């Protein structure tokens, strides 16, 4: 594994105390997204290494709404739920008593048995996950994008994706993979164009259109993954019938095989929709949400070699692609990392409610959205 990919919040710098001012527009959007109201029990679930300024900004935003705020600091979760003994029962008990859970953990807690999607759906809490995005930079960039404008992009994206029979993703490095027989965002994965409701999970900053295929075929050249980071040598996956049939390469390939010795299947994929999410300097789970980015998650098969979508695979590996080209039934949807929906006349007209469309929809991640255009 190369060292170009941060490993945990211990690898990310903390923000200066006065920078909390710059985080409040994003924290405001987070609370709007979670639909937090006065009197609700809000649980902020943070790792020991999470930036305290980020925790303070989110707690302050919830307290300003007269919610009851509780902050629980926990040990880090394992990558992809690989360590099955984590987390302890304590977060689950607190989750059961909360109205809203805001999780500031590095690895997606949804890969663990105690906080998997089916467990979240059993509770009344609305669950928002800032996996790898509980940083000052994430709150000051992609989180500022207006919620109404994002929902409009998401609605149009899902309409086009749902109408397609085939999604094809290619990259300059040689990835060429096709998805068929897929379903788009469902209530269990928390993808619909509205604020959260009880038992729903969603990532934040809001970022993309999710789909789950039953047929995947082609070749993938890994650019960054949960298991390998950014590989030092070319690492290639072959897929057929929605399963990984071969892994080619050296050290990174061996790491992937050890991580899921029973094999992999294609669990889900996501196309990024948020033009203000960072790319340069962003973590994998932050960059995936950038407009025009793409990622997919392969998951471990059972010891019997079967696919089990109802439970965590405990070997979930997400693979990130920053500049893909994506077509829907042969029609361009993303051109070398540029989301063509950003040019949609209705999207640009709606952007004009918040400020100049050229500023709000510019996908250059180095051009930070001024706070006055965030709502």
Residues whose CB falls within 8 Å of the CB of residue 235, separated by 6 or more in sequence, listed in order: 221, 222, 228, 247, 248, 249, 250, 252, 253, 256
Query: How many Cα atoms sit within 13 Å of 165 on the Cβ side?
Result: 2
pLDDT tier for residue 3 given thresholds of 50, 70 and 90: very low
pLDDT tier for residue 192 given thresholds of 50, 70 and 90: very low
pLDDT at residue 347 is higher than 60: yes
User: Which position has the higher pLDDT, 311 or 138?
Assistant: 138
CA distances (Å), origin 268, targets 92, 155, 238, 257, 299: 25, 19, 16, 19, 9
Sign of the Cα torsion 124, 130, 136, 142 reads negative
pTM, two decimal places: 0.93
CA distances (Å), origin 369, targets 209, 233, 291, 356: 22, 36, 14, 11
pLDDT at residue 195 is higher than 90: no
Mean pLDDT of 295-306: 94
Query: How many Cα atoms sit within 13 Å of 24 on the Cβ side?
Result: 10
Task: Evaluate the omega torsion of the peptide bond into residue 290 and state whether it is cis, within 30 degrees of 0.
Answer: no
For 22, phi and psi rounded to 5 degrees? -75, -20
pLDDT tier for residue 194 given thresholds of 50, 70 and 90: low
**Region for 355 from its dihedrals, namely left if φ exceeds 0, alpha if ψ lies in -120 to 50, beta otherwise:** left
DSSP string, 77-131: PPGGG-STT-S-HHHHHHHHH-SEEEEE-SS-GGGSSTTSHHHHHHSS-EEEE-T
- CA 73, CA 91: separation in Å to the nearest integer? 9
- CA 294, CA 271: separation in Å to the nearest integer? 5
Sign of the Cα torsion 321, 325, 329, 331 reads positive
Task: Give the model's pLDDT for residue 1.
Answer: 36
For the stretch 64-98, pLDDT in tens is 999 999 999 999 998 888 888 888 999 999 999 99
Residues whose CB falls within 8 Å of the CB of residue 200, separated by 6 or more in sequence, listed in order: 120, 121, 126, 127, 187, 190
pLDDT at residue 190 is higher than 50: no
Mean pLDDT of 191-213: 85
Mean pLDDT of 30-58: 97
């Amino acid at each position: 594994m190369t060292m170009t990919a941060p490993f945990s919040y211990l690898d990310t710098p903390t923000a200066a105390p006065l920078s909390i001012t710059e985080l409040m527009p994003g924290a405001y959007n987070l609370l709007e997204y979670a639909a937090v109201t006065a009197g609700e029990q809000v649980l902020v679930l943070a790792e020991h290494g999470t930036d305290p300024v980020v925790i303070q900004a989110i707690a302050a935003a919830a307290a300003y709404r007269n919610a009851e705020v509780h902050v629980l600091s926990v040990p880090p979760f394992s990558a992809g739920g690989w360590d099955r003994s984590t987390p302890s029962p304590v977060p689950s008990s607190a989750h059961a008593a909360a109205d809203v859970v805001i999780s500031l953990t590095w690895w997606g807690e949804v890969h663990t048995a105690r906080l998997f999607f089916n467990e979240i759906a059993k509770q009344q809490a609305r669950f928002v996950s800032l996996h790898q995005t509980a940083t000052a930079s994430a709150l000051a960039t992609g989180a500022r994008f207006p919620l109404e404008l994002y929902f409009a992009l998401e609605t149009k994206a899902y309409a086009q994706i749902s109408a397609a029979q085939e999604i094809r993703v290619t990259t300059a490095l040689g990835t060429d993979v096709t998805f068929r027989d897929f379903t788009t965002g469902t209530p269990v994965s928390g993808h619909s164009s509205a604020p959260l409701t009880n038992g729903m999970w969603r990532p934040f900053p809001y970022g993309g259109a999710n789909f789950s295929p039953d047929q995947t075929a082609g070749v993938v050249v890994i650019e960054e993954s949960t298991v390998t980071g950014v590989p030092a040598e070319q690492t290639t996956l072959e897929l057929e019938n929605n399963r990984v049939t071969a892994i080619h390469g050296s050290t990174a390939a061996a790491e992937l095989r050890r991580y899921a010795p029973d094999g992999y299947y294609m669990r889900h994929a996501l196309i990024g929709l948020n033009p203000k999410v960072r790319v340069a300097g962003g973590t994998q789970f932050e960059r995936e949400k950038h407009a025009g980015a793409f990622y997919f998650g392969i998951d471990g098969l059972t010891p019997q070699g079967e696919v089990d979508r109802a439970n965590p695979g405990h070997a979930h590996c997400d693979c990130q692609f920053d500049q893909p080209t994506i077509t829907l039934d042969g029609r361009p949807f993303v051109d070398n990392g540029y989301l063509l929906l950003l040019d949609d006349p209705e999207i640009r007209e709606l952007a004009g409610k918040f400020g100049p469309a050229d500023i709000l929809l510019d996908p250059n991640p180095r051009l930070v959205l001024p706070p006055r255009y965030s709502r």
